Amino acid sequence: MEYNPGWNSSSVNLLHVRAVGPADTLHYVWSSIGAPSVLLVATRSPSSALRVNWTQLLSPSPAGAVWIDPPDSVVYSTAVVFTKLFEFSEAKPLGELFYPTYDLSEFSWDSLNHTLNHTALTAELRGVPATDPGGAFANGSLAFRVWPGAGGTSRGLGAHPGAGDMSRGQGAGPGGTSKGQGKCPGGRELGQGAGDMCRGQGTCPGGRELLSLLAESPNSSSPLAFLQWKAAAYGSPSPRREDGIRCRAGGLRVANGSLPGASLLQAFFGDSLATSCTLSVLNVSFGGEEGHVYQERRYLSWSVLLGFGEPPRDTFSPLVISITAVALGTPLAMLLLGSCLVLLAQRRRYSEYEPIN
């Protein structure tokens, strides 16, 4: 993991995490330059490296400022941008009362430098609106926490399963004063990828719906990258079932027009991004009947899993399987043992009598 490679200032944030294999490398690049975004690049070289032209990246024309060296080692690339944060009132039907939208490209973000943990490969990006006339963020902020997801169980929300070749993102906020009664937050994600995006869903062992966005190549039936999350957010830093808040995702649709504040994407994919790449947009909202949790706690956290290949299946952990096996197996073993003892006792009782001729 490296922070602002080749740049000594901490006035901007660019976090590069590499996963190196015997014959390939996976690059994850998180940035708050413009709107918060993450770039995912897979290469066929174990020595591929990220290059940044900082002068060009911070200029009004960042196209070509970020690339992978050697360029011909790149086999696939995609990106996700978090563009908007909006609030709506549940006092009226959804869509009738929306508060002014927050553009995340206009937020002021703290430096990642003091939150970096090079051992655990974690970091936290925290920001507030550059201008906040209504004071909605007076006592709170919006944060993105990043940590790897290789193996085991997530320390984040919902005990998401871990697997190789992936990264995790967790958002929390806003925790501020309310603009109105019964407000609920929502967000907009804009994904870019080589190929089409499709939406899938399933059910995890906890009963919550499991949603996935898969990038599919026109030349292959297997997905190349994915986003995955449970249809639940939480109203506390330590997720508990009673703190659950329903998470809903709207329909995936084609994004029209330019990308707001997508500096990192323009820097990597170039000025022809809107015409040469497939752009899709998705709205995610939180609330519903559990909206009172957010109204009471003024805290909301939600986790997303990003990675390459097939999204992992949410299964019971070995510990849960062991406990279940013991809980179900012990009564069954006692029943079998008791049956054997009863049969043995009956056999001994009647063995004292001689057969009648």
Q: Are 216 and 198 in contact (CB under 8 A)?
A: yes
Is residue 332 exposed (0-12), middle (13-18) or buried (19+ Cβ within 10 Å)? exposed
Q: How far is CA 298 from the centre of its chain?
A: 21
225-274 pLDDT, tens digit each: 888 888 888 888 777 777 788 888 888 888 776 666 678 988 999 887 77
Angstrom distance (rounded) from CA 31 to CA 306: 15
Is residue 124 exposed (0-12), middle (13-18) or buried (19+ Cβ within 10 Å)? middle
User: Whose CA is closest to 41, among 344, 290, 345, 264?
Assistant: 264
For residues 116-125, give the mean pLDDT: 90
User: Whose CA is closest to 82, among 205, 183, 227, 180?
Assistant: 227
Instruction: Supply the pLDDT for residue 165.
Output: 46
Instruction: Supply the pLDDT for residue 164.
Output: 35
Instruction: Supply the pLDDT for residue 92.
Output: 56
77-89 pLDDT, tens digit each: 888 989 888 777 6
Identify any residues that bridge with 284 across adjacent strands, giving them in sequence order. 187, 249
For residues 18-24, give the mean pLDDT: 91
Confidence band of 12 (pLDDT split at 50, 70, 90): very high
Confidence band of 121 (pLDDT split at 50, 70, 90): confident
Question: What are the structural domain ranges in the chain?
Answer: 80-308, 319-356
* Angle (nearest 5°) at CA 128 between 65 and 240: 110
32-62 pLDDT, tens digit each: 998 899 999 999 999 999 999 999 999 988 9
Q: How many residues does the chain have?
A: 357
Instruction: Supply the pLDDT for residue 57.
Output: 94
Instruction: Supply the pLDDT for residue 202.
Output: 55
Angstrom distance (rounded) from CA 291 to CA 87: 12
Cβ neighbours around 258 below 10 Å, total:
11
Confidence band of 300 (pLDDT split at 50, 70, 90): confident
Cβ neighbours around 122 below 10 Å, total:
16
Contacts with 236 (C-beta within 8 Å, 6 or more apart), sequence order: 243, 297, 299, 301
Q: Are 261 and 303 in contact (CB under 8 A)?
A: no
The pTM (predicted TM-score) of the whole model is 0.76
Q: How far is CA 140 from the centre of its chain?
A: 21
